[in-house]
């Protein structure tokens, strides 16, 4: 959401983006039977928020490198072997409890995305890209959320609030609008330079910043605006909640394998070349970076085995 802030003591004034990681507005996957947040689901969650089982499960997920793949391993085999009742419920894991655990997973995923985005913006600032290839990061926030229902046994003082980030508001349009919209402020002569600028930032972080954006919609998660100083259209990337980071001790070959799928550079240049030609009849010509070409050769090429060569630099 866009908010107006006027705080002279902090040298803040004008419009900013406040991005909150609130499970109540979480975009839930289609395979969940109850996709929408509801008061009843929330009450089941709050009844158990500080229970030993809930806390242990949350800590288990936070400590896991692949939480959505490893989550089922939290429960013992004996729990999994329990027979269902006639009404479809389970004596150990009934419908209400399943609903509560579902909300806990959404809560966990919101926190995971929040922490990932914080780390990416920290690295952007470290590399001098804050405010250039991404909007300027202002700070992290916590928005209080207080429950007053008598049915809810959670102490509001224990709830830290909804995590969020405050960042520069950049009005503009997404890179994908080049093929998706009929009327744009940028002329066709500028389209190539816009996509090249979008790809340039991706190429840099792929080679230097040790994080992998696993969101295939990078052309959507972008803002193109007119830079009055440079007198050109400038692309800024947004939404880094779905990033993974190179772990300590991870072999370089395995890290490059991860970078090859999804292939971030290709998600910009290959995708835009295809969509612009199909929808606008525009021929976008690009030059694959050497790093990207090597990823394709080693992991996606017709003769690629995907196996690490002997003596490969770790």
Which CATH number is 193's domain given? Answer: 1.10.510
Instruction: Tell me which of 30-44, 137-151, 162-176 is least confident.
Output: 30-44
pLDDT at 78 exceeding the cut of 50: no
The 10s digit of each residue's pLDDT in 199-217 is 999 999 999 999 999 988 8
Q: For the chain, how many structural domains are there in total?
A: 2
Last residue of a domain, one of 134, 168, 202: 168
pLDDT at 152: 56
Rounded to 5°, the CA angle 5-11-14 comes to 30
Task: Give the pTM.
Answer: 0.85
Q: Are residues 74 and 158 in the same domain?
A: yes
Neighbours of 263 (CB within 10 A): 19
Residue 96's Cβ-count burial label (10 Å; 0-12, 13-18, 19+) is: middle
Q: Which of 113, 138, 168 is the last residue of a domain?
A: 168
pLDDT recorded at residue 77: 40
Domain-embedded: residue 307: no
pLDDT in tens, 101-116: 888 888 899 999 999 9
* Span 259-274, pLDDT tens digits: 999 999 999 999 999 9
Asked if 54 and 113 sit in the same domain, the reply is: yes
pLDDT above 70: residue 3: yes
Same domain? 11 vs 86: yes
- Name the pLDDT band for 275 (thresholds 50, 70, 90): very high
Mark whether 140 and 242 lie in a shared domain. Answer: no
Angle at 161 between CA 157 and CA 165, to 5 degrees: 155
Domain hosting 256: range is 177-300
Q: What is the mean pLDDT of the chain?
A: 86
Q: Are residues 143 and 29 in the same domain?
A: yes
Which secondary-structure segment (H or E) carries 3? strand 2-7
- Residue 306 counted as domain residue: no
Is 312 a member of any domain? Answer: no
């Amino acid at each position: 959401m866009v908010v107006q802030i006027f705080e002279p003591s902090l040298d803040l004034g004008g419009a900013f983006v406040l991005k909150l990681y609130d499970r109540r507005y979480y975009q839930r996957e289609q395979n969940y039977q109850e996709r929408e947040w509801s008061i009843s689901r929330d009450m089941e969650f709050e009844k158990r928020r500080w229970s030993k089982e809930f806390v242990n499960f949350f800590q288990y997920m936070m400590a896991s490198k692949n939480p959505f793949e490893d989550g089922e391993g939290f429960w013992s085999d004996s729990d999994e072997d329990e027979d269902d009742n006639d009404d479809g419920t389970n004596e150990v894991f009934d419908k209400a409890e399943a609903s509560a655990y579902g909300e806990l997973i959404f809560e966990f995923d919101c926190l995971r995305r929040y922490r990932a985005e914080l780390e990416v913006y920290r690295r952007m600032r470290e590399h001098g890209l804050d405010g250039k290839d991404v909007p300027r990061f202002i700070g992290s926030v916590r928005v209080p959320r207080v429950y007053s229902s008598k049915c809810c046994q959670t102490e509001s003082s224990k709830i830290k609030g909804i995590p969020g980030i405050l960042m520069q508001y950049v009005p503009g349009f997404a890179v994908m609008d080049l093929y998706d919209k009929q009327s744009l402020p940028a002329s066709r002569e500028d389209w190539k330079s816009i996509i090249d600028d979008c790809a340039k930032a991706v190429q840099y972080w792929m080679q230097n910043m040790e994080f992998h954006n696993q969101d295939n919609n990078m052309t959507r998660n972008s803002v193109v605006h007119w830079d009055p100083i440079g007198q050109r259209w400038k692309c800024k990337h947004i939404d880094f909640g779905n990033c993974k980071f190179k772990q300590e001790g991870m072999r370089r070959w395995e890290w490059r394998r991860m970078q090859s799928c999804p292939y971030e550079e290709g998600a910009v240049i290959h995708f835009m070349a295809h969509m612009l030609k199909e929808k606008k009849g525009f021929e976008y010509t690009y030059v694959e970076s050497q790093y990207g070409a090597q990823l394709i050769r080693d992991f996606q090429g017709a003769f690629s085995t995907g196996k690490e060569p002997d003596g490969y630099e770790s």
